[in-house]
Amino acid sequence: MYLKNSKIIVVKIGSSLLVDQNKKIRKQWLSSFAKDIKKLRDKNQKVVIVSSGAIALGCKKMNYNKKNIKLDKSQAIASIGQIELMNLFSQTFAKYKINISQILLTLEDTEERRRSLNAKRTFDNLFELGFIPVVNENDTIATSEIKYGDNDRLASRVAQITNADTLILLSDVDGLYTKNPKIFKDAKLIKKIDDLNKDIKKIYIKGVNEYGSGGMHTKIEAAKICQLAGTSMVIANGLYSNPISKIIEKNNCTWFSPKISKLDARKKWIISSVAPKGALIIDDGAKKALKSGKSLLAAGIKKVSGRFNKGDHIKVLDKKNNECARGLSSFTSDEVNKIMGHHSNEIEKLLGYVAKAEVIHKDDMVEI
């Protein structure tokens, strides 16, 4: 099963799972959810939580009706609710000795290659420190033009950035049905979807779209992103206590298989840049290191060609000018000019500030 073999898991929870229809916080549910997360952690699985709820909790604190709030006001309400949300997570997860951190993202953070590279590094470092990142759309600065509008797609982008194996979308229904189960009694739960474009034609989508707090349409859009990112995705009912344990034990949900492997997806993402901004010429030792799956360090660089920024797509050439790799640079061309040929422990002294050791990290490089 996908979940058991997943090293990195992203879990998305909607505001309806945190706050019930009477505006009461579902503390018991959150506690059972934290228990599930601890079980995953005990198996050395890394977890990211994408959570809605800042606006809902802000409205609860201010005693406002969410439906009547305009965008500019909702940004202020989100700012108030964000502290409530993180306090709720912090207090609940502390009981299970789980440390959490907060990451606020906007659409631009995941769409722009340099920003998404920075975000990936932050996630990786938090995993190393043993913290669980809780991600939220940055509602305090998001405008109607750049908002995700739903956290399903945000969660799929987070899964893509973190190179996650599985995305769990906890909904208020068991999964994807052939029709809307709240209207049609003959609606059947679809257990697995391998080819989204082909299988989706069998579903009465008009009826399906209208159920689920986030709408099933956004979940299908999220599944498309995951399939192309090499990530498996599941839509499951989150209203139960211990919702993740329920997926493992009952498997009464809808699984979406990835179309390609994670490695292929990552390579595709890196190679998909239209035109590399520059090139690095490396020595034979560095070329040999790249061939064995190592990162590119400053010591092996002989020459810098072109001008590029941090996060830009660049070529890696050997001494005969043959292309041997492509990747995303962790430094600007000016910085590489200062540090090339030097040992990694000299970088801070040469640049005057603390920087990464790798000029191109192995995760951000494709051998050619």
Q: Can you tell me the distance from the alpha carbon of 205 to that of 180, in angstroms, rounded to the nearest whole number?
A: 8
Q: What is the pTM of this model?
A: 0.78
DSSP string of 151-219? HHHHHHHHHHHTT-SEEEEEESSSS-BSS-TTT-TT--B--EES-HHHHGGGS-HHHHHTSTTTTHHHH
Q: Is the pLDDT of residue 163 over 80?
A: yes
Give helix 27-42 / helix 71-94 axis angle, nearest 10°: 60
Backbone phi and psi for residue 347, each to the nearest 5 degrees, phi listed first: -60, -45
Name the architecture of domain 8-267. Answer: 3-Layer(aba) Sandwich (3.40)
pLDDT tens readout for residues 212-251: 334 777 888 889 889 888 899 999 999 999 999 999 999 9
Asked whether 325 and 271 are in contact (CB, 8 A), the reply is no
Q: State pLDDT tens for residues 294-330.
A: 999 999 999 999 999 988 889 999 999 999 999 989 9
In the chain, residues under CATH classification 3.40.1160.10 are 8-267
Question: Would the pLDDT of 109 be above 90?
Answer: no
**Amino acid making up residue 319:** K
- Edge-to-edge strands, sheet with 232-237: 100-105, 132-137, 46-51, 8-13, 166-171, 232-237, 254-256, 192-193
The Cα 296–Cα 316 span in angstroms is 9
**DSSP character at residue 228:** H
Place of tokens 């920075």: 118
Q: Residue 115's pLDDT is what? A: 79
Mean pLDDT of the chain: 86
Q: What are the phi and psi torsion angles at 254 (to 5°)?
A: -115, 120
Q: Where in the sequence of the chain do the CATH 2.30.130.10 domains occur?
A: 274-367
CATH number given to 274-367: 2.30.130.10
Q: Are strands 132-137 and 46-51 parallel, antiparallel or unpaired?
A: parallel
